[in-house]
Structure 1
Amino acid sequence: MPDAGRKRSSRRNTPPGGLGAARVAGAALVLLFGGGLVVSTGYAAINRVGAPERALAVAPWDARAHSLRAERAIADGSLSAAAVASARADALAALRRDPTLVASWRTLGLVAASHGDGAAAARLFAVSERRSRRDLLTQIWLIEDRVQRGDVVGALRHYDIALRTNPSGHDTLMPILVAAAGQPAVAPALGRLLRSRPPWAENYYYRLSQAIPDAQVMAGMMEVARRGGPLPNAETIAGMIPTLVERRDYVAALRLASVLSGTTVRMPKGVWNGDFAAENRYPPLDWAVAQADGFGGEARGTAAGGHALVAFAASENSGTVARQILMLAPGNYRLATRFARTDRPPAVLRWRVACAQDPKAPLVDAASDPARAKTGSWTFRVPAGCAAQWLSVDVTSGDPGGGETAIEHVAVGAAG
C-alpha cells in the first residue's frame, strides 16, 4: 500500500558542485522557472470545488471525496503537521478504495516532499504520471524536480507533455517558455524540442512575438528549430523583425530573416528592392510600405513592363509612404531616384536619409516634383558612428482631387 515515509533523500543533500555543468543549467532553470509553482498555479483552484465533508458525511467510503479532502488539506501551501497528516490519511483511504485516483498519488508525493524525502516523492509522482499524463499538477512537480536536478531536457520534456495534454495550462506555462528562449542554458534544448513541431508551437511563436526576450539567444534557438523545416506561423515571426530593427538589433533581425527564408540573408551595399520588382518579405530590411487614411503606396506595373511603387495622397494629406533600413559604411554616397507621372495629378515626394540613432538630423532632406523633373539625385556623407540609416519617402498632394506619383527606381551608391 502506498506510503509517504520520513526518510530524507540523499539527493537533496548533494554537496555544492557535485553536479558539475548540470548545476549551471539547473541554476538558470531555477531562476527561470522559480519555486513553489505547484502550490501557486494549481492548488488554488481546489478551493473552488464543493466541500467533500458533505459527501463523506453521507458516504464515508467515498474514495473521491477522501481524495478531494486530502488535496484541500494542503491546498493553501501551509503544510502544517496537522494538515499533512490529514492529507496523508485521506489519500491513503482513497487509494484503498480506488488505486487509480491520480490526485491521491500526487498528494502522497507532496506529503513525502514536505518531509524532505525526495526519493519517495519522485516514486509517488512517477506512479501519478503513469496513471495519467494529463494531470497538470503532476507534470508541474516533475518539471520542478528536473529543474532541481539541473536536467534541462527532462524539464522541457514535461513542459511538452503538459502543454500537449492541458490547453488550460498554456497561460501559466507559455510565459515561462517565452522567457526560456532568452536563456543561453535553456534555449538550444528548447530549439530542439520545437524542431519536432509540437502542436503548441504556433501558439508559442505568437506569444514569443509579443514578448521578445534576448534577441540573439532567441535567434539561435530558432536557427536550431529551423533545422526541422520551415517554422509555423511565419508571418507572426516576421512581425518580430520591425521590433528588432527599432531596437537597433540589426544582427538579430537578419538572423531571423535568414531563419524564415531558409538561406543566409545579408544586407545589400545600397537599397534593397530598388526597382520594386520583388516582394517585400521582411520589412523594414526591405521596403515597409504604408497604407494610411489619406495617403499610402501600392505596387503597380508600368506601361513599359516594369514595376513601380505608386505613392498617393488625398488633398492636403501627407505622410511617410515607404521606408527601409540601410547599413552603409562611413563615406560619401549618392541617392538617385526615377519617377513618373500617372493619369492623376502629380504628388510631391520628399526624400530623407538619417542615422538611425538621430533621425531628426537628416543627411538628406530633399523634395522632387514630377511635374518638373523625372529624376532626382543628391549626395550625402555617412559619418563615423552611424551604423545604420533610415531611407524614407514622404508624399504630399496640394491638388483638390489628390495626386499620385509612380516611383520606378531608387538607388544608393558610392559617390566620388
Structure 2
Amino acid sequence: MTAGMKEQIRSYGMRSLTRQPVNAAAPTLLAIVASLDGKNQQAERLVRYAETMSRRDVPTEMWLIEHNVQRGDIPNALVHYDRALRTNDQTREILFPILNQAVSDPEIARPMAMFLARRPVWGRPFMTQYIPVSTSPNALYTFARGLKLDRAPTPDPTMLQAIEKRLVDLYAYQQSAALYNRAHGLPADDRTPIRNGGFEQPGNWDPFDWNLIDDENLAGLRQPNPTAKGGTALFPFAANGRGGDVAVQLTLLPPGNYAITAHVGGTRGDPLAFPQLVVRCARDGREVLHAAFPPSPDTGQSWRVGFTIPSNCTAQRIVVRAASGIDGQVTAPWIDDISVRPLGGR
C-alpha cells in the first residue's frame, strides 16, 4: 500500500470518527493504518475501542480474528469468529472455508468442538457444509464426540451417519465404527461380524447396517419369510436387464479364514439370475468372495461358503447382489440368517 493510500484511509477514518463517534468502522480503519505503520499496540487499542461500540462490525471482528490467530490465542479467535458469523449470513461464505482448513490442526479442532457443543446458530450450517469436504478424520471424530452424537441414542442420526460415511470415505474405519458402536450402546471396539443378519430390523444408511436398494427394477426387499420360521427375510429383486448390489453392510473382520452361512430359498431356473453373495475389500474393491447362492427349494436350505481376509484388507463390505435372467425373474429367491464366523488357521 502506498503512502498516499494510507493517508487517504487515515483521513477518511478521522473524518468519520469526528462526525459519528459511535461508528465502529472508523477506529478499525485507523487501526489498519496503525498496523501498516508497525504501531501494533495503538492498532489494538483502536480495535478494542471499536468493539466496545459494536460487536456486529465484521471488519472489526475480522481484525480481531487475525490478531488472535497471530498470537496463537485460538479460543479468543473463535470468540470473534462467533461474533462475526452471528452478524449476517454472508460472513459464512468468507469464514467457513477458512475454518474448514484451520480445523485440520488438532490445536484448533479441540476448542472448535467445545464451541460447537454450545450450539451456536451457525454451528449446524458449518457442520453441514464441512462434513462432505473434510479431509481430517481426527477433526470429524473430535466434533462428533464434542457434539455427543455418539450418545445412545444419538441426538442427531442424520449428522452422525454423515460423519460416519465421510470417515469411511477417508478410510478411517476404526473411528467410524467407534462412533456407531457407542451410539448403539456398544463398546467402542465392538467388532460384530454381521449386524441384523436376519433382516428383522429395517435397513438404513448407516455404513455398519444394511443399506438396501429400492429402485423400480433393482431392490433388496424385506418381506415375510415364507417358511414356518416366520420373521422377515431379504428378497433380492432384479428385472428388465438390471443387476447389481441390493444390500450392503460394512464390517471390520481381522485377517484370517472365515465361513459365511445363510438360509436360502426359492432359487431355481436360470442360474445367471441367482442372487450372489460378495465380500469386497472396502478400500480398493477387491473381491475376496463372489459366490452365487445355490439352487434351493421354496422352503429353504442351509448354505455355507468359506473365504479368507488378507492382511491388507482392513475393512470389508458384505454384499448381496441380484441379477435378472433372460426371461425375467420368475421366482422369488430369499436369503435369511446370514452370519459370519472365524475358522481356525490362516
Shared fold per TM-score greater than 0.5: yes
Q: How does 1:222-371 map to 2 (within 5 A)?
A: 222-226=144-148, 234-258=157-181, 264-280=187-203, 283-302=206-225, 304-341=229-266, 348-357=274-283, 359-371=285-297
Would the alpha carbon gap of residues 117 and 182 (structure 1) be closer, same or farther in structure 2, given more than 3 Å must change?
same
Q: Report the residue type matching 2:324 in the other structure.
A: S
Contact 2:264–2:302 (CA<8 Å) still a contact in 1? Answer: yes
Tell me by how many angstroms 1:263 deviates. 5.8
Q: Tell me whether 1:206 sits opposite 2:128 in the alignment.
A: yes
**Cα separation, 1, equivalents of 2:69 and 2:154:** 28
The superposition leaves residues 246-287 of structure 1 with CA deviations (integer Å, 9 ceiling, x where unpaired) of 443211212343575576444434212111123445632222
Q: Tell me whether 1:408 sits opposite 2:336 in the alignment.
A: yes
Q: Which moved more, 1:384-393 or 1:97-106?
A: 384-393
For the residue of structure 2 that corresponds to 1:362, the secondary structure is strand
Contact 1:241–1:282 (CA<8 Å) still a contact in 2? Answer: no
Tell me by how many angstroms 1:411 deviates. 0.6
Q: Report the residue type matching 1:206 in the other structure.
A: T
Would the alpha carbon gap of residues 367 and 299 (structure 1) be closer, same or farther in structure 2, given more than 3 Å must change?
closer
**Cα separation, 2, equivalents of 1:255 and 1:282:** 17
Would the alpha carbon gap of residues 259 and 210 (structure 1) be closer, same or farther in structure 2, given more than 3 Å must change?
farther
Q: Unaligned 5+ residue runs, structure 2?
A: none
For the residue of structure 2 that corresponds to 1:174, the secondary structure is helix
Tell me by how many angstroms 1:192 deviates. 0.5
Q: Report the residue type matching 2:247 in the other structure.
A: A
Q: Unaligned 5+ residue runs, structure 1?
A: 1-77
Q: Tell me whether 1:124 sits opposite 2:46 in the alignment.
A: yes
Q: Tell me whether 1:166 sits opposite 2:103 in the alignment.
A: no
The superposition leaves residues 172-226 of structure 1 with CA deviations (integer Å, 9 ceiling, x where unpaired) of 1112222233211111100110110111111011111221121024312331232
Q: How does 1:390-409 map to 2 (within 5 A)?
A: 390-398=317-325, 399-400=327-328, 404-409=332-337
Contact 2:137–2:170 (CA<8 Å) still a contact in 1? Answer: no
For the residue of structure 2 that corresponds to 1:337, the secondary structure is strand
Q: Report the residue type matching 1:130 in the other structure.
A: T
Q: Report the residue type matching 1:414 in the other structure.
A: P
Report the counterpart of residue 148 of structure 1 in structure 2.
70
Report the counterpart of residue 114 of structure 2 in structure 1.
192
Q: Which moved more, 1:251-260 or 1:145-154?
A: 251-260
**Cα separation, 1, equivalents of 2:157 and 2:103:** 17
Q: Report the residue type matching 2:211 in the other structure.
A: A
**TM-score with structure 2 length normalisation?**
0.86
The superposition leaves residues 39-67 of structure 1 with CA deviations (integer Å, 9 ceiling, x where unpaired) of xxxxxxxxxxxxxxxxxxxxxxxxxxxxx
Q: Which moved more, 1:380-389 or 1:311-320?
A: 380-389
**Cα separation, 1, equivalents of 2:309 and 2:247:** 21
Tell me by how many angstroms 1:378 deviates. 0.7
Report the counterpart of residue 17 of structure 1 in structure 2.
none
For the residue of structure 1 that corresponds to 2:113, the secondary structure is helix
Contact 2:149–2:183 (CA<8 Å) still a contact in 1? Answer: no
Q: Report the residue type matching 2:222 in the other structure.
A: A
Contact 1:196–1:228 (CA<8 Å) still a contact in 2? Answer: no
Contact 2:264–2:293 (CA<8 Å) still a contact in 1? Answer: no
Report the counterpart of residue 23 of structure 1 in structure 2.
none
For the residue of structure 2 that corresponds to 1:121, the secondary structure is helix
**Cα separation, 2, equivalents of 1:179 and 1:359:** 30
**Cα separation, 1, equivalents of 2:56 and 2:65:** 14
Question: Considering only CA atoms, is the larger Rg found in Structure 1 or Structure 2?
Answer: 1
Report the counterpart of residue 388 of structure 1 in structure 2.
315
Would the alpha carbon gap of residues 111 and 100 (structure 1) be closer, same or farther in structure 2, given more than 3 Å must change?
same
Computed over aligned residues only, the root mean square deviation of the Cα atoms, in angstroms, reads: 2.9
